Structure 1
Amino acid sequence: MSNTATVENAVRRALVVGASRGIGLGLVQVLLARGWQVTATVRDTTRTPQALLDLQKTHGAALEILELDLAHSSRLGELAAALGAGMLNLLVISAGIMGPDHQRAEQASPEEVGELFDLNAMAPLRLARALLPAMACEGVIGFLSSRMGSVSLNESGDRELYRASKAALNSLSRGFAINEALPAGVGVLNLHPGWVQTDMGGEEAPVTVEQSVTGLVNVLEAALGQIEQRFVDFEGQTLAW
């Protein structure tokens, strides 16, 4: 009886939001390979990518696939209830968009700005806040941010709308960390995955998905039990806000 309880308590559970492709899918692969119990979300389970289905065939009950569209917040309470109180050791929110091609403030319509800031900044915060009761003490919430969200490190000024949305995420998550997550015993990481070879990053990016996600999981695992907020890259280097 006690041995069974010990095994159950040793199981580490992660939720990866935005696991259809790229970094999110890569995070699921690495976490499963390291023995985590993983719940992965996709926007539409009827269109779950084959790569994720293949992982489920390989890992069986260790991988659960759920439907979650960050643009619609009505199911967040449902998801939190389904996960159960204190059951998650790790929550990684990796969904996001680049925004309009022009990336210019004076050209942006209210609809373009609204969609970009909602998906990149507001929706991750809503989700983290809704799922905080599901986090175990000494667990970690990881927001996929970007070096581009750093005001201090902005030396080129390009992609100004995307930069602004990630800076907004950093600001919102800071308030959430101070007032809610850290007092609940949950750490918060704002993560720069590197310039990665994804659909968003492009083929010319210097960092492979495997390099990025392996580094990110290393950073996330090392942060378990550290009740603090940090802005770090996939190699664990601290970034200026």
Structure 2
Amino acid sequence: MTGSTGHTDTRKTALVVGASRTLGLALAAEYLRRGWDVIGTVRGSGRTGLHDLAEASGGRLTVESLEMTDPDQISALGDRLARRTLDLLFVNAAITRGDLPIGEVPTDMFTEVMITNALSPMRVVESLRPLVAPAGTIGIMSSDQGSIALNTDGGQDLYRASKSALNQLMRSYAARYADDSRTLLLMDPGWVRTELGGPDAELSVDESIPGVVETIERHQGKPGLHFVDHQGQVVPW
């Protein structure tokens, strides 16, 4: 990014989509700690932890509003950021609606979860990819629950299916842009104590996110799609 004085600012820039709380907020904070400029998105106009973080950032964190399920808002965000170059585009957004057997899942619940967890992240990636530097990284928060190979216990049918769909769509994206020099990541943050992960999860947010960022950094400059966890281990499809 070049300022008005003509000097080049060598700080890297990350866009974290879904940064109002828990994992997304921690990602924004971790990249700030590492000296990056950060753009974080929140839903709606209410105040969030990201706004507090922005006030303490010395201008290095910008808050943008985005309802990720609205394609027009995705396009509008792309227009607002058209002059920015991103070293990292990371989409962190997912919902769960309880642990129901798939035969008991209402159609509107199925649609809502699939749109939020699978379709909308890919719309963001497809729409905003031109902003990402040729040597940059595009990442999406996935889950080992999206792994078909690891599903030996069942449960969480809809959430698992949405993450498997996300992984499949990202593989199709990677195949479509097979010659792209950007790094593509599906990240499993581990089982984290969040609203989605529940209170019995193994990891705190502070234990997960530094590993996620380290893994992202280690894969910089490695084109193609990688499905990895917060410790850098490959997750089976």
| TM bin (shorter chain) | over 0.9
Matches within 5 A, 1:152-171: 152-171=149-168
Deviations 1:85-144 (A, max 9, x none): 670110111111012x24221111211110010000000000100001111011111110
Corresponding residue number in structure 2 for 1:68: 66
Within the candidate set 144, 148, 152, 1:151 is matched to 148
Query: 2:116 aligns to what?
Result: 119
Q: Comparing both structures, which one devotes a greater share of its residues to helix?
A: 1
Q: What is the letter of the counterpart of residue 187 of structure 1? A: T
1:48 corresponds to: 47
Shift of 1:175: 0.8
TM-score, with structure 1 as normaliser: 0.92
Q: Deviations over 1:150-176 (max 9, x none)?
A: 001111011111101000000001111
Q: Which runs of 5+ in 1 are unaligned?
A: none
Whether 1:237 and 2:237 are equivalent positions in the alignment is no
Secondary structure at the aligned position of 1:47 is classed as: coil
Number of residue pairs matched?
A: 234
Q: Please say if 1:186 is aligned against 2:186.
A: no
TM-score, normalised with respect to structure 2: 0.94
Secondary structure of 1:55 counterpart: helix
- Sequence identity (%): 36
Which amino acid in structure 2 is aligned with residue 34 of structure 1?
Answer: R
Q: Of the candidates 126, 129, 137, which is equivalent to residue 129 of structure 1?
A: 126
Per-residue CA deviations over 1:31-85 (Å, capped at 9, x if unaligned) read: 00001110000001x2121x32221121121000000011211122221122226
Matching residue of 2:92: 94
State how far apart, in whole Å, the 2-side matches of 1:5 and 1:89 are: 20
Q: 1:185 to 1:85 in 2, by over 3 A?
A: farther
CA RMSD of aligned residues (A): 1.6
Q: Is the 8 A contact 2:99 2:157 kept in 1?
A: no
Give the 4+ runs in structure 1 shifted more than 3 A.
4-7
Q: Which runs of 5 or more residues in structure 2 are unaligned? A: none
